[in-house]
Copies of this chain bind each other. A is one copy, B any other.
C-alpha cells in the first residue's frame, strides 16, 4: 500500500556517454511500477512516420518562444538551431494521475528541472570510473577524434555536478543501476514529506466516523 498517490518526476541524468538511455530502457523493462515517458515539444520538422503528440509535439519557433516566456517548460534546450523542451502542464497532468514520469536529460536540463519542481527526484548516473567512460566514448567508433575529445571535455565538467542531485547511481551493470533506481522510486513514495498528508487524512477520517 502506497500512501503517496501523486506520481514522481524522476530525472535521469549524468555525464555525457555514461549510458543514461540504456539505464532508462532497462528501468522500463522492470516490473511493478507505473512509469511513463514525457513527450517532448520541438521546433524541428517531423520526419516521415513521426506522429505529432506521440514522438514529439511539433510547434513553430514563435509558439515555442511564447511558451518559454510564459514559463511553460520544465526544461528546454536549443540544439543545432532547433528547440527541444518538456511541457510542464503535460507532466503535471500525468503526476496528478499517479504516474511516475521519467525524464532522461542532459545535466543542463536536470538543473532546470530542480529550479521548477522542487520535489523532483534527481538521479545522477556515474560510471564505475572515469576511464570506463572515456573508453566507452572512444570505442563507440561512430565519431571523429574531435567529437570524442569534445565529449570527454564535456563529461569532465559534468562529473563535478553530482552534489546537485539527490542520488548517485553507479552504472557498473545496467540491470543493477535500473534496479537501484526502482528502489529509489519505492523509497521516495514512503518518504514522510510525501506520505504524511494521506496518513493524517486516514487518521482523521476515522475519528470522524
Listed in ascending order, the chain A residues whose CB lies under 8 Å from chain B are: 1-3, 123-124, 126, 128-131, 159, 162-163, 165-170, 172-173, 176, 180, 182-184, 186-188, 190-192, 195-196, 199-200, 202-203, 206
Residues of B within 8 A of A191 (CB): 166-167
Residues of B within 8 A of A184 (CB): 183, 186-187, 190
Q: Which residue of B lies closest to A169 (CB)?
A: B190
Say how far A110's CB is from chain B's closest CB, in angstroms: 13
Known contacts A129-B206, A159-B203; decide if A192 and B176 are in contact (CB<8 Å): no
Q: Are A196 and B163 in contact (CB under 8 A)?
A: yes
Say how far A139's CB is from chain B's closest CB, in angstroms: 18
Determine the distance from Cα of A2 to Cα of B131 in the docked complex, in whole angstroms.
18
Say how far A37's CB is from chain B's closest CB, in angstroms: 22
Which one of A1, A191, A199, A200 has the highest number of Cβ atoms from chain B below 10 Å of its Cβ? Answer: A1
Question: Which listed residue (B129, B131, B180, B199) contacts A190, Cβ 8 A?
Answer: B180
Residues of B within 8 A of A129 (CB): 202, 206
Say how far A54's CB is from chain B's closest CB, in angstroms: 32
Residues of B within 8 A of A182 (CB): 183
Residues of B within 8 A of A206 (CB): 129-131
Question: Which listed residue (B1, B123, B131, B159) contacts A172, Cβ 8 A?
Answer: B1
Residues of B within 8 A of A163 (CB): 192, 196
